Amino acid sequence: MSSFKQNFKILLIYKSALIGLITILALTGISMYTVFSIPYDEAIKLWRAGEQYWLDNPRNAIPSWINVFSSKKSPETIIFDTQRPQHGVSKAIVQVSDRFTRIKIEFLLNYEYEDFPSELNLFLKSNYNKSSPQLSVHWVKPNGEDIILNSFLIYKEDTYYISNDDRLASELKSMISKKINGTIGYDAPIAVLLFASEDASIINPSTVNVMRGEYKLWIDGIAFEANVNLDAKLVVYGKVFGWAGTDHLRRDLGIALLWGMPIALSFGVVASVSIALIQMFIGALSAWFGGRIDSLIQRITEVFMILPFLPILIMISTFYKFNIWILLIIIIALSIFGVGVKNYRAMFLQIKEFPYVEAARAYGAGNFRILTHYLMPKVIPIVIPSIVLSVADFVFLEAVLAILGLGDPLTPTWGKIIYDAYSNGALYKGLYHWVLEPSFMLAFTSLSFAMLGFALDKIFNPKLREM
């Protein structure tokens, strides 16, 4: 034990080991926090709930802290809800007679960003009995101009996807074109048409700019019965969200980034430690008993060495669609007869001849006791560095499976995010954050293990330390 303490002291001398150790501790801390604050089941539910759950989030948004570094501020998402009183929201319901109700809802939006919002949606909820209310939705620009966006009858739960209203798009386009005596030649989204300054700059997508000021969206509704209530929620989607941004399904990437951490850590550590221990045990068996057991183990090892590991693993995971923890067991099962067994056997063949083993045998220690109490403990310090180093390999192995689309379909992992990003063409569309965030997490994790592992290697293998 004292030698362990001594080694630990030496460890702290190496700066790289210190950095690695601190990072690993930090990652472990964050993982613990994640596991306790967002339980596993809830994380899966959040991640797999579908777009309905995340309707208030912008799509493909970049992280909001990017605003700090960029000169052009991207808009945050602005939400107005008549069920949540806040400045700029007003609702009036007037009982005209026992057959008519007039409803007026107003949202005042002070828009001071330099960039356009990404989308606009209007969510409506009404408690009518028989005949649905008739609404017309108005848009008032800062210059006072009032445009009717649309008029329609609504269901009890309804959504007006303003950004998807093609008729409105062409109407707005021709209206603005007439006003500025030019044509808008490009496919301008509605969010741009609603918020743009109406001058010559709008003709070109690179010069179009925001008309800043106070906008108003108001709803003029008539219900054809008494006591009808209407609630509305206006979401003006921004282009930034949270600390991690969102993906194509509006999901908060932060959840997957956080949850990826405990999964990556436990996957990597469990795989590397258990594979090393089992291989060590098999190697010890092989060296200690020799003879038939030895040659049997050696032949099995050779068979597994000739099987290509990753292809076999890919084959198993496509064919049987296991979840991540069963996959972990299969990875361990495929690796226990790996090349490591041969290395351990070579080490144990030497240790076997040491006098202290002889002594143990002389006083009558059983085979199993010698294996676990005399042979294996001698080797463990030597292989700790390689165990630490191989954690990174298994973290990446999980990522590989996920990126190939073969991993666990439910659990949010870093590899899964990269897979989603790739299959949605994130790099072509310039959504770099989507690929970079999980990649940095992967790199960060494995580098910290690698730095610690290399330093440990120097400490436990003194021959290297001299060099």
Partner 1 sequence: MVPRFVKYIVKRGIILLLTVIAAVYITIFIANMGGYVDEIVKSDLYLSISQSVRQNPTYKALNDTQVEELINAIFTNELKRIGFDKPFIYRSFAYLRDALSLNLGRALFLSSDSGSRNVRIIIFERLPNTVLLFTTMQLLLFLIGLFGGLFLSRRYGSFLDRLSVLLAPLSSLPGWFYGIFLILIFASFLRLLPYGGMVDVPPPTDKWGYALSVLRHMILPVMSWLIAYTFIGVYARRTFFLMFSSEDYVELAKAKGLPESLIQRRYILRPTLPPIITDFSLTLISSWMGAIITETIFNWPGIGSLFYIASIIFDSPILVGLVVIYAYLLAITVFTLDFIYAILDPRIRSGGI
Contact 259, 414 (CB under 8 A): no
Strand partners, 109: 215
CA dist 448 and 194 (Å) reads 49
Which residue in 55, 108, 222, 314 binds partner 1 (CB under 8 A)? Answer: 314
Is 349 a binder of partner 1 (CB under 8 A)? no
CA dist 404 and 382 (Å) reads 35
Give the helix, strand, coil percentages of the chain, each rounded to 5. Answer: 55, 15, 30
Scanning the structure block, which residue is given the tokens 């990556």?
A: 264
Q: What amino acid is encoded at 117 in this protein?
A: P
Q: Which stretch binds partner 1 (CB under 8 A): 42-50, 200-208, 225-233, 400-408?
A: 400-408
Joined together, the tokens standing for residue 345 give: 């056997």
Is 389 a binder of partner 1 (CB under 8 A)? yes
Q: Which stretch binds partner 1 (CB under 8 A): 2-10, 200-208, 246-254, 401-409?
A: 401-409
Nearer Cβ to partner 1 (193/451): 451
Is 253 a binder of partner 1 (CB under 8 A)? no
Is 16 a binder of partner 1 (CB under 8 A)? yes
Contact 451, 20 (CB under 8 A): yes
Is 316 a binder of partner 1 (CB under 8 A)? yes
Q: Which stretch binds partner 1 (CB under 8 A): 46-54, 93-101, 235-243, 393-401?
A: 393-401
**Least distance CB 29 / partner 1 (angstroms):** 22
Is 100 a binder of partner 1 (CB under 8 A)? no
Is 302 a binder of partner 1 (CB under 8 A)? yes
**Least distance CB 411 / partner 1 (angstroms):** 20
Q: For the chain, how far is it from start to end, CA to CA, in angstroms?
A: 26
**Least distance CB 386 / partner 1 (angstroms):** 12
Nearer Cβ to partner 1 (25/359): 25
Strand order in the sheet with 78-81: 78-81, 230-237, 119-126, 157-160
CA dist 229 and 34 (Å) reads 41
Is 331 a binder of partner 1 (CB under 8 A)? no
Question: Sign of the CA dihedral 352, 356, 359, 363?
Answer: negative
**Least distance CB 351 / partner 1 (angstroms):** 20
Of 215, 214, 225, the residue nearest 93 (C-alpha) = 225
Is 393 a binder of partner 1 (CB under 8 A)? yes
Contact 74, 240 (CB under 8 A): yes
Which residue in 33, 185, 427, 465 binds partner 1 (CB under 8 A)? Answer: 427
Which residue in 175, 293, 333, 464 binds partner 1 (CB under 8 A)? Answer: 464
Q: Which stretch binds partner 1 (CB under 8 A): 85-93, 119-127, 167-175, 436-444?
A: 436-444
Contact 385, 457 (CB under 8 A): yes
Nearer Cβ to partner 1 (36/428): 428
Which residues, other chains included, contact 64 with Cβ-Cβ below 8 Å and sequence gap of 6+? 76, 240, 241, 242, 243
Contact 255, 412 (CB under 8 A): yes
Which residues make up the interface to partner 1 (CB under 8 A)?
16, 299, 302-304, 306-312, 314-316, 318-320, 389, 392-393, 396, 400, 403-406, 418, 427-428, 430, 432, 435-436, 439, 442-443, 446-447, 449-451, 453-454, 463-464, 467
